[in-house]
């Protein structure tokens, strides 16, 4: 028998052994429905990954902060490490967008109530009035119960620096507007390492922040802008799984 025939015999034996050992296992996985589930869990679609916000070539991170919460406890950015959390800037006497924003966040709170690694950081832009006692009453009024939802107050200049420079979320005193303060109704989403994250838009650019002033039930506002609370919830889930 020549070498070619020996070669084909060995190939046949290898195929036979493979079939005897592995084919029954593959068949069992199909029958149990686990092959598709396992493979799907192991493959991550790049489109499902949330983008980092890049500034000057570096991933943008939450700056250090230290403020008092509604329970008069000192809370810093390090207290949020290991947690996915949402950041907002608001004030308790706001007559316009803040009530909508915080009702939306209470809805988010309730959806993620069972997750110990989820939280919210709400920074008041009127710290002279919004003392811990006032913030505590506000929390009770809105049903804020998550132990990792801190309503934060402190030095006025530090808060405005954090808003306008640290997050680039506009906040300012404005005596000519209702409530005396002007601010955007945006939410920032932070990952467990303290980086600002967001999904990409249809053009492949990060949306950066999420609209907090439109409810899911409303759908769109008078300007035709769509609500983003539903996608915020989806993206929180993605970061919790990272």
- Which pLDDT score, from 0 to 100, does residue 142 have? 98
DSSP run (H or E) holding 9: helix 3-32
- Which pLDDT score, from 0 to 100, does residue 29 have? 44
103-146 confidence digits (pLDDT tens): 999 999 999 999 999 999 999 999 999 999 999 999 999 999 99
The half-sphere exposure of 169 on its side-chain side, counting CA atoms within 13 A, is: 27
Mean pLDDT on 67-87 = 98
β-strand pairing of 118-124 with 149-152: parallel
Mean pLDDT on 190-209 = 97
More reliable by pLDDT, 203 or 18: 203
Phi/psi at 31 (nearest 5 deg)?
A: -65, -35
Q: With a cut of 80, say whether residue 206 has pLDDT above it.
A: yes
State both tokens at 198: 């967001």
> Predicted confidence band at 31 (pLDDT cuts at 50, 70, 90)?
very low
> Predicted confidence band at 47 (pLDDT cuts at 50, 70, 90)?
low
DSSP state of 56: T
Separation in Å, CA 40 to CA 33, 36, 43, 44, 122: 12, 6, 5, 8, 37
Mean pLDDT on 29-35 = 42
The half-sphere exposure of 200 on its side-chain side, counting CA atoms within 13 A, is: 12
DSSP state of 47: G
- Which pLDDT score, from 0 to 100, does residue 149 have? 98
SS (H, E, C) 66-130: EEECCCCCEEEHHHHCCCEEEEEEECCCCCCCHHHHHHHHHHHHHHCCCCCCEEEEEEECCCCCC
Q: With a cut of 50, say whether residue 34 has pLDDT above it.
A: no
Q: With a cut of 80, say whether residue 54 has pLDDT above it.
A: yes
Separation in Å, CA 61 to CA 2, 83, 223: 69, 14, 31
Burial of 60 (0-12, 13-18, 19+ CB in 10 A): buried
Mean pLDDT on 56-62 = 94
What is the percent of the chain with per-residue pLDDT over 70, rounded to a whole number? Answer: 81
Q: Is 150 annotated as a binding residue?
A: no
Separation in Å, CA 92 to CA 56, 134, 151, 233: 35, 8, 10, 24
Q: With a cut of 90, say whether residue 180 has pLDDT above it.
A: yes
Helix (H, G, I), strand (E, B) or coil at 197: strand
Q: With a cut of 60, say whether residue 37 has pLDDT above it.
A: no
More reliable by pLDDT, 192 or 33: 192
Strand partners of residue 85: 119, 190
pLDDT, averaged across the chain: 87
d(CA 33, CA 37): 7
Mean pLDDT on 219-240 = 97
Mean pLDDT on 37-43 = 35
Cα-trace Rg, the chain: 26
Mean pLDDT on 46-65 = 89
State both tokens at 236: 């929180």
Q: Is 98 annotated as a binding residue?
A: yes
Q: With a cut of 60, say whether residue 173 has pLDDT above it.
A: yes
β-strand pairing of 196-198 with 51-52: antiparallel
> Predicted confidence band at 5 (pLDDT cuts at 50, 70, 90)?
very low
d(CA 194, CA 240): 13
Q: Is 129 annotated as a binding residue?
A: no
Mean pLDDT on 164-168 = 96
């Amino acid at each position: 028998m020549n070498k070619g025939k020996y070669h084909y015999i060995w190939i046949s034996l290898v195929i036979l052994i493979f079939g005897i050992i592995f084919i029954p296992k593959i068949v069992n996985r199909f029958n149990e429905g686990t092959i598709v589930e396992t493979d799907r869990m192991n493959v991550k679609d790049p489109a499902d990954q949330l983008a980092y916000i890049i500034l000057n070539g570096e991933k943008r991170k939450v700056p250090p902060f230290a403020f008092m919460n509604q329970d008069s406890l000192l809370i810093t950015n390090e207290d949020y490490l290991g947690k996915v959390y949402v950041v907002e800037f608001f004030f308790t006497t706001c007559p316009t967008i803040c009530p909508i924003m915080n009702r939306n966040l209470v809805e988010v709170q309730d959806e993620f109530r069972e997750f110990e690694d989820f939280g919210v950081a709400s920074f008041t832009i009127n710290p002279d009035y919004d003392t811990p006692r006032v913030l505590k009453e506000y929390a009770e009024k809105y049903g804020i119960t998550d132990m990792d939802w801190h309503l934060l107050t402190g030095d006025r200049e530090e808060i405005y620096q954090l808003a306008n420079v640290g997050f680039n979320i506009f906040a300012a005193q404005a005596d000519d507007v209702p409530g005396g303060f002007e601010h955007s109704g945006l939410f920032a989403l932070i990952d467990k390492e303290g980086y600002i994250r967001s999904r990409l838009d249809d053009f492949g650019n990060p949306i950066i922040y999420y609209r907090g002033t439109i409810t899911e039930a409303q759908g769109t506002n008078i300007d035709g802008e769509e609500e983003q609370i539903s996608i915020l919830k989806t993206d929180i889930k993605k970061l919790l799984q990272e």
